[in-house]
Chains A and B, each alone.
Chain A
């Protein structure tokens, strides 16, 4: 491996070679920040948000406390809520009359109306609260002009937390209004029908023959309306050609229609679809 005349320098050279490699290793360890920060953590938080409204469904929270709590910092608040309730009773009275006349028929209509009202109300409350917060912030910023930037960032964090709280409560309120879930269910059904209609339009019906077999497919959806994976055949029609025709139709229908309300998407993540191609 080495010549006789090289022996006297071989140990020295070997030590130097090892030293060079240790230096490289040290440079690798020092110069690279191997443990990088990953901002992708936010993604997981968003997924938690999706499940929040469902969890809070059974615990009703009266909408009034929000206004009262938020009203404390500014005196203007007290005026505005007073203005707001005025439309409420007028609308509420109408359904009451209806109920007195024919309870059974108008029950659903009333619930829907209530629903809409309360939704509007919640939205208005939110807007008002935000506007008030903006006012309060303006005042505060005027007063705190001399304060350091740190305090501003703290305020911003607080503000964000407050907003998050308000959002959370508003989100929690909607389902508590008895028919809120029903309205959501209506939207879900509407879009479920839309999805089925779009897929049905793409099915090559001649492949399924004259009989009217039923197929069941499980599909996973992404928020963009695209499929997250291949559709899974749960119940076959009995004819492989027909199954494939429907599967192709599902693939061809991307992107599928989804409601613009992102909070409803959780109901579409895993869809079970039934088909009768010859309907």
Chain B
């Protein structure tokens, strides 16, 4: 009897033979893992795009062209400017608007442009930070969910063992194996999430530093112009 149970140990029969809480845990973990990988790939693509955008814009900005031309080029484009370009657009738009009402003081104009850039910067940062809290919680919680499934499965395995007078390893082994599948999937969800979270957090930090320094430098340029 036990031999036939131990013989059929494919991963599908292990999962099918698990108790309901363990199966629920497995389903939850697989869904979380799918979502976390989805977000990981989305963030990989978007952060990379933000970096290349920043690179391109810095190149265009520091080549010393006309700022008005740059601004018109940005607003004429079909797509809404993103990243550093959107900060520049917001600041320059505000500056130009104040400039037209010529009776305003320079410090007020500068203050307004700064505020507009700050707002655009916050919006950009919010976009960059999107999904990172989800990755952080998957990284910290999913091992526990997996552990819960494992503990539950092992509890079941040992409870079944208590009814037998002569305990053998082959009576608990399938139960423990199916329980450990939960931990394995929990770790599979958690490890990439933690790695991705750390990597993306540092990328976002570097981008935000880059945006902030651009804001300071652009403010100086605007001040010199006015």
Q: Which residues of A contact B (CB under 8 A)?
A: 2-3, 5-6, 9-10, 12-14, 16-18, 20-21, 24, 28-29, 32, 34-36, 38, 40-41, 44, 220, 222, 228-229
CB pair B41–A16 under 8 Å, yes or no, is: yes
Chain B residues with CB under 8 Å of A35's CB are 7-10
Type the 1/0 row for B125-157, where 1 means its CB is closer than 8 Å to any CB of A.
Answer: 001001100000000000000000000000000
Given contacts A17-B34, A34-B11, A40-B3, contact A12 B41 (CB under 8 A): yes
5 tightest A-B CB contacts, nearest first = A13-B41, A17-B37, A9-B45, A229-B165, A17-B38
Closest to A18 in B: B34
CB of B30 within 8 Å of the partner chain: yes
CB pair B38–A14 under 8 Å, yes or no, is: yes
12 additional A-B residue pairs with CB within 8 Å, beyond A10-B42, A17-B40, A40-B6 = A9-B42, A12-B41, A17-B34, A17-B35, A18-B34, A38-B7, A38-B170, A40-B170, A41-B3, A220-B165, A222-B166, A228-B165
A24 to B37, CA, bound (A): 12
* Interface size of B as a range: 20 to 34
The total of interchain contacts (Cβ-Cβ below 8 angstroms) comes to 67
CB of B82 within 8 Å of the partner chain: yes
CB pair A34–B10 under 8 Å, yes or no, is: yes
Interface residues of B in 75-95 (CB under 8 A from A): 82
Chain A residues with CB under 8 Å of B57's CB are none
Closest to B38 in A: A17
A10 to B30, CA, bound (A): 19
CB of B219 within 8 Å of the partner chain: no
Q: How far is the CB of A209 from chain B (nearest CB, A)?
A: 32
Closest to B10 in A: A34
